[in-house]
Every structure is written in structure tokens, then in C-alpha cells.
Amino acid sequence: MAVNKISSLLGEATKNFKSDAAQRKAAAESPHSIILHTNDVKGEYDSGRALTTTLGGINRPITRDDLETFRQNIKTVQKVFKGGIKARQVLDMSLEIDRKRARTEIRMAVPISAKNGMVRFATNAGPDSKAARHHVNVEFLSFGAGAASGRDTAQKMANWVRKQPLKFDCDCGRHKFWFRYISTIGDFNAGRPETGFPKIRNPGLHGVACKHVLRVMAEVEASGIVLGFLTKLIGKAQDDDNARAVHKTTVKEAEALAKQQDKRTRDIKTTDTRAQAREAAKQRKALSEAAKPVPVPKKATASTRRNASQAAPKKASINTSSLTPGQIAMAKQFGMTPEQVMALIAA
């Protein structure tokens, strides 16, 4: 992504968040408003409004029972997110579809500017988006405490701050229609609060964050770029002796950071899948050690290489009859089929 002047990027972010707030206000004030307000969910809903929900899979008029289900879903969210949310939890509580989009579509998330603990990130937009990029705001709730504390270096405090609870906001439609309500009632919303229940898009209140936020959270949790940015910010706050700081990335820096990120994709994993990945790697290792692979000729000729590359993607052609008794025993031990064993050996 070409990074324009930082000030124009920031202007774009402000404009997006402002126009969203104005649209929301107009929608609420309209006599034909379809927003399901807090009081409606509480039980004051007038069924004459004939609002609909997709709860249960089809779009149909809202009933009293639905309101009760909505209240239950709200309770669940508020119970889960008691005490704020950390970057790791955002990744853990996200939906697989959003993680997949973050992995495959979002190639950069660069911190652009910060005022105290509120840091603005710019990300690229997905391939189907009308927007050129998206803006994600992250409020680090322990910034003040980290900046005021003289117990450690700015870098160590920055590393601590990024692992503490935070709030966030994104200017994309997915966040607006699916997740902003959840972040509002879960108390981790860093922007305009949303009090209208997502009765059509997300009545089950599943997930927490869009692909842009997920990519940003992966950076917050693990990247040296974010650590460096927060270190500078905290260093400034410590120098000023008032735990307040403003910091902006220069255009040159932002371009360099975007380029750096573009070179390698960041995997977006939950704690569970990370553990599963470790387990799978362990199993693969055990299998490849136990199974004696068919010896490969030392020098592959051009034609054998070609044959190998042609044969590889054809899963159906995997020959499981050549499994050794050791391999079959391993397959049994790991509850796998001979095909799965062959696929692992071939991988």
C-alpha cells in the first residue's frame, strides 16, 4: 500500500469515524428506524414495528422469546469479557472466518500516530473492499500506569503495556454491523458506542473482531514494530514527566514498516490452534521418525523431478499399500487412516 502523507491518513480516519457517527444518529432519529434499542431488548419492544431477526437461521419477525434470548446472549458476553480484553483474547475469541481473512487478505497494519495510550493503525483493505485502507484505533488502558512507573526501562514498560487490557475500534462495515455492539456491551469499545442490538447480522453475538483488528492485534502481541512505537511513546511520556505523549510515524517510517510487513505474512492463530499446531508437528515428527521413508535417488533427474511435482497434488493417487508395519502401528496409535499417514509422510 502506498502510504500518503500521515496527516492526510489521519484526516481520512477522523472523517470516516465522524461520518459513521452522523449516519448512526440519522438512522436512530428516522421515524422508520429499524434499530433495536436497549429498552426494546429490555422488554419495551413494540411488536407493531415488525422488526426482524435472523436468530435460528431465517429472517422472521422478532418475538418475545427472541428478546429473552438476546438478553441471555448479552449476559454471556458480559460475563466472558469482565475485566477488559487483551490482544491475545481478541485473537482467541475471534471467528475462524475472520482469522482466515486476516491471514490471507491483510498484509500490513502500521501504527501511524498516538496520543497517550490511544494508537491509530492503518491497514490495507481486503480485495473486495471499496475502501483503499482501514483505520483501527487501539486504546492501551495501562499506558498511563506504564508511563508513570519508573520501575523499568521504556522498552520493558512498553512490552508490559501491550499485554494488558485494551479497547479498540475499526472503521469497516464488519466491525460496525457485527462487532461494535459486542465491544460496547463488553466494555472494550474505543469509539462510538453501539446500543442497537445486531438482530440481523449477529443475533447470537458471536466473534469479537474484524480482519483488520485481528491483524492489528497480532502485531500488538508480537511485532517489534509495535514494541518500538510504544517504547518511543512511553519514552516521551517519561521525559515529559507528566505521563502524556504524542507521537507520529513519519511517512518514510510508515512506508518502510509497510514494506517490511509485506514481505512476510503474519499467522493469525488462537491459543488453541497454536497448541493443536504444536501437537500436529509433534505427531508428524514421531511419524517421520518411525516410518522409514522410501529411499530417494541421490540425484533426481529433470524428468523424475517433473514427475514428482506432477504427482504431488493428486491426493487420490496416494498409494497406501506401501505402508510398513511400523507405519500402520503408528497410524493406529494416532487414530489416523493409512491415507492420512501417507499424506503426512509425503508432506
78 vs 95: CA distance, rounded Å: 18
Q: Is the distance from CB of 20 to CB of 171 less than 8 angstroms?
A: yes
Q: Any idea which residue has 514494541 for its cell?
A: 227
Minimal distance, residue 125 CB to Zn ion, in Å: 9
Establish if 99 lies at the interface with Zn ion (CB under 5 A): no
Establish if 55 lies at the interface with Zn ion (CB under 5 A): no
Name the DSSP class of 109.
Answer: E
Instruction: Single out the residue of 175, 180, 247, 266 in contact with Zn ion (rule: CB under 5 A).
Output: 175
Instruction: Single out the residue of 99, 180, 212, 215 in contact with Zn ion (rule: CB under 5 A).
Output: 212
User: Count of residues for the chain?
Assistant: 347
C-alpha Rg value of the chain to the nearest Å: 25
Instruction: At 121, list the grid cell.
Output: 493503525
Instruction: Single out the residue of 36, 87, 172, 216 in contact with Zn ion (rule: CB under 5 A).
Output: 172
Selected range binding Zn ion among 205-213, 218-226, 325-333, 335-343, rule: CB under 5 A: 205-213
H or E element at residue 88: helix 87-93
Establish if 133 lies at the interface with Zn ion (CB under 5 A): no
Nearer residue to Zn ion within complex by CB, 133 or 212: 212
Nearer residue to Zn ion within complex by CB, 183 or 327: 183
- Name residue 60's beta-bridge partners: 53
Nearer residue to Zn ion within complex by CB, 183 or 231: 183
Establish if 120 lies at the interface with Zn ion (CB under 5 A): no
Establish if 170 lies at the interface with Zn ion (CB under 5 A): yes
Establish if 205 lies at the interface with Zn ion (CB under 5 A): no
Nearer residue to Zn ion within complex by CB, 86 or 101: 101
Minimal distance, residue 176 CB to Zn ion, in Å: 8
Establish if 24 lies at the interface with Zn ion (CB under 5 A): no
Minimal distance, residue 211 CB to Zn ion, in Å: 6
Residue 336 makes CB contacts below 8 A (sequence gap 6+) with 330, 344
Residue 157 makes CB contacts below 8 A (sequence gap 6+) with 146, 147, 149, 151, 234
- Count, in order, helices (H) and strands (E) of the chain: 16, 7
> Using CB under 5 A as the criterion, which residues of the chain lie in contact with Zn ion when the complex forms?
170, 172, 175, 210, 212
